Chains A and B, each alone.
Chain A
C-alpha cells in the first residue's frame, strides 16, 4: 500500500465501532427489560393467586416497545372453577 492509498482507502474500524455501539445499547436495554418482565410476571401472579387459583404456566406477560407508546399485555388463563377454596386450604395447612 502506498502513501496515497492510506488516505483514499476506507477504514473499517469506525464502522465496527459504530455498529457495536448501536447493537450493545439495544442488547443492554433488552436484557434489563427481560428482568423487568420477570419481576412484573411474578408480582402480578402473586396478586391474582391471592384471589383465585391459576396455573403458573398459563400466564404470559409481553411488552412491546414502540417509539411513542409501549404496551404491556398480560394474558392469564382462568380455570373453570377459579374460586379459591380458602377453607379447605386452611385445613390442609
Chain B
C-alpha cells in the first residue's frame, strides 16, 4: 500500500504546486512509483507545471462521475517512467469532488503506487479539506512571511481535526517545508528566520527551499525543478527533503549560515 501525502498551506501562491511537482519527480527519480493528484478543480495548474497540459484528456472529475476509468485519466510523465499525473478538471465545479468519489480514487491509487501526492487548493474550503482527508502525512508549505505563517497555523489545526487520521484518534504526521527563503534578507533581519517559523508552528522541518530563479525557469519550461536542473540549489533542497520523507535522518542546512564575514558583507547587495 502506498503512502498518501497532502501538500497544503492555506495561503495561495506559496509554492504548493511547484513543490508537489518537484517532490513527486524527485521521488520518481529515486525509483519510486509516484502519482501526483491535482485537487484544484476549476483552477488546475499541476498539469502546466509538469509540462503535461496538452496531454489532458480525462480528469479527476470524469473518473468520479464514471465518465472515464482511472487508467484513462492518468498521464504518464514523458521523462520519468514511474511518474504519473491525475489532472483536475478545469471546467467543472468543485462540488463534483464528492467525498465518496475521492475516497474510491485514493484507495485505488494507493494500491497501484508507492506515493500518492495530493496538491491541495488554497483556502480551507471543501477542496482543501478533501485533499487532506485521506492523507497519512501532511507537508505544510510556508513562506517566511506573516500571512503565510498564520494560514499554516490554521491548516495545522484542520489537519489535527478534520482528517480521517485525526478523527480515528491517530496522530497526523506533519512536516514543514519552508519555501522562498532568502538567506540575505533573513540575515538582515527583514525576513522571519527558520527558527522563528519553527518555534511558532512547532512542527518538524522537512526542508528549506531557497528563493531562486531556477524555480521560475523550471515552471516556464514545464519541468519540475528537480528535472530541469538537478544541481540547482532548489533541486538539491527538494532531493534532500525527499530523503527525509523516506525516513533518512538528514540534518537540514540553513542556507546562508555557512557564509563567512566577507561573504556577509559582500553578499548583502545580492538581494
Contact = CB atoms under 8 A, between A and B. Distances in A.
Contacts of A16: 145-146, 192, 196
A11 B200 CA distance: 19
Contacts of B153: 24, 27-28
B189 A13 contact: yes
Nearest to B196: A17
Contact of A13 (B154, B196, B268, B269): B196
A11 B190 contact: yes
B150 A12 contact: no
B162 interface: no
Contacts of B268: 1
Contacts of A28: 153, 157
Given A13-B189, A17-B200, A31-B157, A23 B150 contact: yes
Interface string A12-36: 1110110111011001100100000
Contacts of B145: 16
The majority secondary structure among interface residues of chain A is helix
A75 B149 CA distance: 37
A69 interface: no
A20 B200 contact: yes
Nearest to A17: B196
B146 A19 contact: yes
A93 interface: no
B193 interface: yes
A12 B185 CA distance: 10
Contact of B193 (A13, A19, A20, A27): A13
B191 interface: yes
A3 interface: yes
A13 B186 contact: yes
Nearest to A3: B265
A6 interface: yes
A17 B196 CA distance: 7
Nearest to A23: B150
B200 A24 contact: yes
Contacts of A6: 188
Given A1-B268, A3-B265, A11 B189 contact: yes
A27 B200 CA distance: 13
A8 to B, nearest CB: 12
A12 B200 contact: no
B79 to A, nearest CB: 39
Nearest to A19: B146
A20 B146 contact: yes
B50 to A, nearest CB: 34
Interface string B128-159: 00000000000000000110011001100100
Contacts of A19: 146
A11 B265 contact: no
A6 B268 CA distance: 10
Interface in B179-215: 186, 188-193, 196, 200
Contacts of A21: 200
B233 to A, nearest CB: 22
A30 to B, nearest CB: 11
Interface of B: 145-146, 149-150, 153-154, 157, 186, 188-193, 196, 200, 265, 268-269
8 contacts: A1-B268, A11-B188, A12-B190, A14-B189, A16-B146, A16-B196, A24-B153, A27-B150
